[in-house]
Structure 1
Amino acid sequence: MAFCHFNLLLVLISALGRDAAVFTLQNKCEEKVWPGILTRAGKPQLANGGLTLNPGQIVHINAPTGCLVDGYNLPISIIPSGGTGDKCKAITCVSDLNQKCPNELQQVEKGKVVGCKSACMAFNKPELCCTDAFGDPNTCKPTQFSKIFKESCPMAYSYAYDDLTTTFTCNGANYLISFC
């Protein structure tokens, strides 16, 4: 199961300088995946907020500028095509994050870990959600949970202000997003 809305692991993609980008979602897994899609405030919801991808299935989604692909728990690659910019490059994580998910963050169904919640979602504490007094880069710091995922996927956005090494912006790109 793949989820794309976790505060714990983020990959930020901005499609700048054009009316839209095409996100091509490809399921290379042996099982169905369920990508959820979250857009920025004020932007239209894409694919009704998520969809089911059967093994081998490919879906194309037209996305307006400034969209956000917001996390994952399965091996994933995001490959831009036709884009430009100093930070326009492929992003890959081959780790199965369900295998490394701390017990207190595990989403378990029928005895199997099928997802990994963000620490914010699991505990709803300002220091884990980067809200209230922790709502800026000076007070919101990596946590024991975000560090686990950063070690597994160094290119992944692991907490709300993990911008320096993990924000990849392309001008005029389309994206191939492959699971597994």
Structure 2
Amino acid sequence: MSDPTPTPTAAVVAPTASLDGQFTCPGVPDDAVIAMFGPSVSFLPRFSTNKDDYVTHLFCTVLVPPSQSSGRSDMALTTRWGRLDEGINPWADAYDAPIEDTFTVEGIGGTGTVYTSTEGGGAASFTCEDNYHYVTVSVYPGTGMRGDLKANLINLATSMTPWVCQGHTAPGLPAPIGQAQWPHPTPTP
């Protein structure tokens, strides 16, 4: 007799870094986020620039609809990626979970660490082999995430490594990070 308990599967499939689909937040595939949390999510993209207005870090917060108990939207996911400049903490705002593991990305040098918890929250971060670029994704508990937490975290982080670690232009940006200049709106007369 085999064990009747199904093995948890990831809602986010193993990444292929496809440029197909929509990227409301630069570099973060909407379809992966929707697979994790359903179609009623809200994306809140932000970015940081240096003194010359070149994009150095990108942040995205994903909210799920208000729960019946709280009546407010809950933060479900955050993503951060960019350069590891002095003072940058890739784990800032990430969910603090106690169970640690490591992961690798096939074909991309660097180190990956994933933290998970039994209550459904966790975070994964991958630092590229140049030790100068990173990506961090974080899921918060109680937000109704579908699929296996650890696999989702690793797969979402991995899907972003081509633009983070290999200098490819991320969907939603006009050039690779550090070369993409964020345009200022032209004032109307």
Please, what TM-score do these two structures have when normalized by structure 2?
0.26
Q: Which has the higher contact order (CA 8 A, sep 6+)?
A: 1
Please, what TM-score do these two structures have when normalized by structure 1?
0.27
Larger Rg: 2
